[in-house]
Structure 1
Amino acid sequence: MQTDTGFPRADAENDFLRARRRQVLSRLAAWLRREPDDVNIMLPFDEVVEALGRVGERRLGPQVIRLDSIVGSVDRTRDFDRRFRPTSGRLRERWERLARAQRRGEPIPPIEVYRVGDLHFVSDGHHRVSVAHALGQDTIEAYVTEVRTKISADGIRFRGDLIVKNDRRLFLERVPLSGPARAAMVLSDPWQYTILSETVEAWGFRLMQDESKFYNRAEIAARFYAEEFEPVVTMLRQAGLIGGRTEAEAYLAVSEQRYRLMRTHRWDDDVIAKLRKG
């Protein structure tokens, strides 16, 4: 919350010290809670776009955006934490100069950001964002450039989430599904996307052998979903074997047990227990 003594210079100094103190306390709290290292680190724009697969961009012009939607930076990921609190004292002079100007009501130029989904990444104006946070503002003016990607940015909170997104993008390049079929392929373990890719490709290879006909990746993906994935998931749902997993995770659990079932011809409590555990 902004405090105002009527002396902009003193208030700006207090603003900076308060922001630094909160940054240190936040880092200490994360350490005490044994949280992952990336909890307080802002997201790097280049890594996010690479994980999602860049398609193109377009300028949207000036807009008012929410400060809490700004989660990362193009090139200043070490100078500020995830909430744009300064991580060292070397930013102090410029930071306090902007804070004084803000408190005096002087015009502040809009920042520049890239938009990926609902997330924003600062390319110019990191100090302005930091000061706005410190003064309790909810929004800020920005020149926005929208970046379109192959897969959605939904679900990205921390840097570690990019691993799952990257593997999902690679999966969808190998298995180009669309619509409900695409939405159904959700896995929490990034390695499982590789396993599922190989499962689909092996299924497609057997299909082409059986029918003595070549199919491209899109055709194999569509037939896999309609003839293999959907019927199996329907049976699993009817048998109550999906549980708290996603449909794709439940399907993989069956797929991994398929060889055992084929070799032993058994469908007993032991096999069912393994299916439930995944």
Structure 2
Amino acid sequence: MVSDSGSPRVDAESDFLRARRAQVLASLAARLRNDRDDVVRSLSFDEVVEALGRRGEHYVGTKVIPLDAIVGSVDKERDFDRRFRPTSTRSRERWERLALASRRGEVIPPIEVYQVGDYYFVRDGHHRVSVARSMGESVIEARVTAVDTLLTPTGVDVRSDLELKHWRRLMLERVPFTGEARAAIAFDHPEQYGEIAETVEAWGARTMHAERAYMDKETMAARWYAEEFEPVARLIEDAGVRGPKERLAAAYLRVACERYRLIREHDWNAEVMGQVRVRSRPPRR
């Protein structure tokens, strides 16, 4: 609750103490719940953009943005938590000065942010965001620069999500899937992206050797999906060797590894799949 003692200066001091107390309690609660540190820490703009792959940027202009959509910082992710509560008293004087100005109704200049999809990262104005949230505001005026990325900027809620995005981006650089294939080849574990890239490249090498013709990466990706993945995916579904919550790409990777481990075979047919089915069980979850 925002206090109002009649003295803006006293109330600004109370605002800061309230914000610090909330941050300390939230951090303690997260530790008691054994939550990961990345759940409460502000996201780093540089880490997010590196994971997604930066293509370019363009200035959008000044607009009003929701405070809840501001999830991180360009360079002060350790000074404020995920909800932009101060993590120390280092900048207390500056924070209280802005809170006092806000309580007095003074004009507060727009903050500057990078926009990555539906997420915003503060370039300038961290204290203004912190004060606005502490005062119960829901929106803030911002000068927005949009950043275009290689991967769709969704599903980046905590730092641990970035590793998955990072390895997916590397996989797409090696095997540039597009359209339906790009959507279908998705995993829940980072290491699987490296495994599928190696699998596709090995298939491409065998195919080029057999055909005595070169394939570029784009052709390799498209042909592997059409000639290898889709037929095998149908065999997997028909044979019932896919786990109930298993992604189809993960099922392919698991079954392909089991096929070679068990029978040292690169071909696919009903007999091969029958042997894999008998000798390998899908994950239960």
TM-score normalised over the length of structure 2? 0.92
After TM superposition, give the deviation of residue 240 of structure 1 in Å. 3.6
How many residues align? The count is: 277
Matches of 2:101 and 2:196 in 1, distance apart? 55
Give the structure 2 partner of residue 170 of structure 1: 170
Equivalent position of 2:64 in the other structure: 64
Match of 1:254 in 2: 255
- Runs of 4+ residues over 6 Å off in structure 1: none
More off after superposition, 180-189 vs 123-132: 180-189
Instruction: Name the counterpart of 2:245.
Output: 244
1:109-148 counterparts in 2 under 5 A?
109-148=109-148
- CA spacing shift, 1:175–1:94, aligned 2, 3 Å: same
Q: Which residue number corresponds to residue 269 of structure 2?
A: none
Q: State yes or no: 1:33 paired with 2:33.
A: yes
Aligned-pair CA distance for 1:270: 4.9
> What is the CA–CA distance in structure 1 between the aligned matches of 2:4 and 2:279, rounded to whole Å?
68
Taking every aligned residue pair, what percent have the same amino acid on both sides? 57
Residue in structure 1 matched with residue 76 of structure 2 by the alignment: 76
Q: Which amino acid aligns with 2:255?
A: V
Q: Deviations over 1:143-173 (max 9, x none)?
A: 0000111111211111121111110000000
Rounded to whole Å, the distance in 2 between the matches of 1:80 and 1:21 is: 13
Question: What pairs with 1:4-19 in structure 2 (closer than 5 Å)?
Answer: 4-19=4-19
Query: Counterparts of 2:235 and 2:51 in 1: how far apart (Å)?
Result: 34
CA offsets 1:93-139 (integer angstroms, 9 cap, x no match):
11111111111211110000001111111000000000011011111
Structure 2 residue aligned with 1:267, among 264, 271, 275? 275
Report which stretch shifted further, 34-43 or 228-237.
228-237
CA–CA separation in structure 2 for the residues paired with 1:163 and 1:271: 33
Does the 8 Å CA contact 1:175/1:217 hold for their aligned counterparts?
yes
TM-score (norm 1): 0.95
2: distance between equivalents of 1:201 and 1:111?
A: 46
Task: Tell me the SS of whatever aligns to 2:61.
Answer: strand
Q: Distance in 2 between matches of 1:111 and 1:146?
A: 14
1:6 Cα deviation from its structure 2 partner: 2.6
SS of 1:38 mapped into structure 2:
helix
Relative to structure 1, is the Cα distance of residues 277 and 214 closer, same or farther in structure 2, using a 3 angstrom cutoff?
farther
Cα distance, 1:5 vs structure 2: 2.7
Which range moved further: 129-138 or 2-11?
Answer: 2-11
Q: What do the CA deviations read for 1:30-67 (whole angstroms, capped 9, x no partner)?
A: 11011112111111111111111111000001011111
Check the 8 A contact 2:255/2:276 in 1, yes or no: no
Q: CA RMSD in A?
A: 1.7
Give the Cα–Cα distance (whole angstroms) in 2 for the partners of residues 166 and 151 of structure 1: 9
Using the alignment, how far apart are the partners of 2:59 and 2:163 within structure 1?
28
Q: The residue matched to 2:106 in structure 1 has which SS?
A: coil
- Whether the 8 Å CA contact 1:241–1:276 is kept in 2: the answer is no
